[in-house]
Structure 1
Amino acid sequence: MENADKNRSSAAVFILLGFSDYPYLQVPLFLLFLTIYVVSVMGNVGMIVIIKINPKLHTPMYFFLKHLSFVDFCYSTIVTPKLLENLIVEDRSISFKACITQFSTGVACVITEMVMLAVMSYDRFVAICYPLLYTVSMSPKCCALLVTVAYSWGIISSIVLTYSLLVLSFCETKIINNFVCEYSVFLFASCSDKHFSETIFSITANLNTFSSLIIILTSYLFICITILKMHSASGRYKAFSTCASHLTAVTIFYGTILFLYCIPNTKNSWLVVKVGSVFYAVVIPMLNPLIYSLRNNHVMETVMGMQIWKIFPAPRLKCT
């Protein structure tokens, strides 16, 4: 009986409706999301390259930012291509295996980003509150360990959540009013008891969201106390400016998550959920490199230097 349920689940097919309720918006939405995706890929890959080639950016803060850009690139690549495909094709079906793969890899990226943002807040806390100990506390070995923890915890959480879905049985075909394989998609499509899966999801989601948020808020509480104790106005401005980009990214990221948490589960809320999910999954990966690059002189200098090099290439020397 158990093997029969597993075989039926593996043969299940989901139909992701996406934004098919608005046929007149299919082409404009495709062009919009394609533009966002291209900007996101170029921004995140460009950020990684810039940090790699500029020696001034070989610091712990940019080491973490490089990995944050990599996670954003992976997440947008996991979600957006399928979204674009569903906007231009009639067949919006996705197999159970493809859907569970998209879900597991997407969850790993999201939770890794949560931990990475918490790690970056800790980095700012040490840099501002204990500047004399910064080089020792945030040594290359420590930074590598923190990044390893972020990726490892993201993978472990993804495995736990994926397992909680694999124990369910699914109907052969299910129409899903969404554009991405989220946890709610599998619960809606399941034909078996969902109590175990819902409990695991609630524990894992709340643990990751609120524990990382507590670390961030605690770090910024001590940062604010330290900044307020500074006597120099220029020193306070400089200290705050080093946190502004990260604080903006955290506000957008967690603001969107908490907004989606608060939406009531009703039929009329599906459009709001889809719009919020698009912002969370597609737009935020594009915003992060823009937020960090526009507020950083070293990054902008590197970008301008690369552009000037393309416009005015170095002269070739003629051999005589």
Structure 2
Amino acid sequence: MLNKIILLILLISSLFSETLEVKNITFTTENDSDFRGDNDYTYGSEISILFYRKDLNNSLLHIPFTDYKLQDNYISFSYAHQIYTPEDLKNQNLILNDRPYAGYMYFKSGLYQSYNKTLKSLVFQLGMLGPSTNMDRVQEVIHANIGSDVPEGWDNQLKNELVIQINYGYKEYMELSNKSVFIPEYGFELGNASTKVFVAGLYRWGDIPKDYGSTQIDNTNANKIPLDPNRQYKNAWSYCLNLSFKANLIARDIFLDGNTFLDSHNVDKNIFVAEVGYGVSVNYGHLSIDYLRKHLSHQFKTQNRIPNYGSLVISYNF
């Protein structure tokens, strides 16, 4: 499956080889099992490719109501999948006070415009939720191979549903000193998987790369969008520390509210969810590796644990 996804992305890039310039290829994997057992958002992975757009004649590839000719324009293509489970994986019955099992896979394409250390993002997401994703089988195989408990409640997962999302974000790169940067962000998500508004911020300290930072799966922005598309990479080590926060006001979360059009299990979600994160970035030449750890406030009323998970982001920059 992964080979087919990579071939599809390469095919897309070859069709536009004269107008697109590859800027980075990124692989991200996320898991909660490094600190505790699997539950809540338990696993995700994504592969993405970011292009710099040299041809600006196609008006369909611009963010509306922006002066694209004055800006550096990028486009990304991504494939991702995610797994959500309740806390008790051995229970075959429906667990009424815990979140439903859910498997989700999607394709994503984003338009990005950078100008004067600001970044606008408009992301389109088309995906599928439910048994047709085979995420139950993916988790069962992984757990069997690592000797972990095989989840037994996937018969209660959310039903098949086509997902359509439009997400918007705005970032600003603010240099506080030659060793520290603050990147505030705000935006919204609109669709049958997620409808919310958010504000966020990222503080970086150290040898800071000249980009808008790394992001976790299913966030609005792409990874490692440079401030300057002609940025040069030196064969030298650099490191920086990252601290982040995010505040979400949520109208809909399909992984808690259940299916949109069909009857399914759901829980009573919290409409306000806060997030804090920390991590480190390591760079050498064209290669960058980021580890990010995120902790969230309770996402629904009967949630026992504070959810948290880690993200490993590996990028090769051109």
Which TM-score bucket, shorter chain as reference? under 0.3
Normalising to structure 2: TM-score of the pair? 0.25
More helix by share: 1
Larger Rg: 1
Instruction: Indicate the structure with greater strand content.
Output: 2
Question: TM-score, length-normalised on structure 1?
Answer: 0.25
Greater relative contact order (CA < 8 Å, ≥ 6 in sequence): 1
